Amino acid sequence: MTENIYPTYYELCKSAPLLARKAIVRAYEETGNISEVARLFRTTRKTVRKVVRRWRERGEEGFKDLSRRPKSSPRRTSAAVEGLIVAERKKTGYGRDRLARILREKGLEVKASTVRYVLRRYKLSIKYKRSRYRRRNRFYDFESLYPLQHFQVDLKEVYDSTTLSEQTLRWAKRLNIPPYRWTAIDVKTRLRFISYSYEKTFTNGLMFMLLVIYFVRSFGIEHKITLQTDNGEEFGGKSVDKLEYLNKKVFAPLQAELLHIPKGKKEYQAFVVRSHQTDDNEFYIPQIERCADLKEFYFRALRWEFMYNTKRHHSTLGMTPFRKLTMERKISKLVALFPVMQLEKLNDLYFKLFPQTGYHVSTNDQYY
């Protein structure tokens, strides 16, 4: 037997570990000498002895890799805690930070990193969608913004068949829940104000924005207020002349401004649009079917608004919106209780304020 007919044990293990161990055993059977086999494969005698011993004890099974799992893991998360994490994840679909926070609120001290490892172990990790906006731009100078200064305002259809179940939609129609929700979110603090309407009209849009301005002013806010919207007709449409008229005649006397985002720049409304998903998951899906009538729905909507502003932890802020607001200025907690109402009830007031016609724009959307 010559040395050159055998590749090294290391070279064989890189491509075929089972064949490498079989070659060791075959050479040992031919030579009967541990040292000679170790020299031929240019490895240690300890390695040869280990391969031969496993082959004698377990036969063909001895050629397979053994588990590298430690015999004991005293710091491993208990099965009970893992079960709670998995159950909460399947129930809510939340990420690691929020799951860890929920479990801590229940009295179970769990780190976000622990939740991450458990989710990975059970193959429940989130599959992140690739954002179409690869470059993350900062649209606001948050350091120079005042609280309750810049609002993103948007309209959301409540009857969303892609999110709500057919049973939930049927119950919502039975209660005659308004199909449109108007939302204003403060960019600085993420404090949110909401109202509802049965019609998608400029009348309702303007009254909602005025309601936001007067509500904020009632708490002693004196700086300029900016209301940022898309170019929908319910917010004045694409007409530059109409936007100038509204700012000059309606908003400027209130030390406010209506600002339309550039066409096709939906990312400018990211905060308010993202909050719609939160409403679907945490309010409409679990709460609508619990409402006995329309009055209870408005009560639950007001309670949800207050909870969102004062008790719900905001992941980006690391605190609640109201807590963020109080860090900037001293203000009453009543600011978190914007009146959740049906905007059509303000129509009489609208026509007294703006007797001119031509701005009541409606759509043909049918829900009933």
Question: HEC states along the chain?
Answer: CCHHHCCCHHHHHHHCHHHHHHHHHHHHHHHCCHHHHHHHCCCCHHHHHHHHHHHHHHHHHHHCCCCCCCCCCCCCCCHHHHHHHHHHHHHHCCCHHHHHHHHHHCCCCCCHHHHHHHHHHCCCCCCCCCCCCCCCCCCCCCCCCCCCCEEEEEEEECCCCCCCCHHHHHHHHHHCCCCEEEEEEECCCCCEEEEEECCCCHHHHHHHHHHHHHHHHCCCCCCCEEEEECCCHHHCCCCHHHHHHHHHHHHHHHCEEEEECCCCCHHHHHHHHHHHHHHHHHHHHHHHHHCCCHHHHHHHHHHHHHHHHHCCCECCCCECHHHHHHHHCCCCHHHHCCCCCEHHHHHHHHHHHCCCCCCCCCCCCCCC
pLDDT the model gives residue 136: 54
pLDDT the model gives residue 366: 41
pLDDT the model gives residue 127: 57
pLDDT the model gives residue 367: 39
pLDDT the model gives residue 263: 84
pLDDT the model gives residue 1: 45
Give the mean pLDDT per block of 10 residues along the chain (368 residues): 63 83 88 89 90 88 82 83 88 84 86 89 70 55 85 94 92 95 95 95 92 95 94 89 91 94 86 91 92 95 96 89 93 94 84 58 44
0.85 surpassed by pTM: no
pLDDT the model gives residue 143: 77
pLDDT the model gives residue 191: 96
**CATH, domain range 150-353:** 3.30.420.10
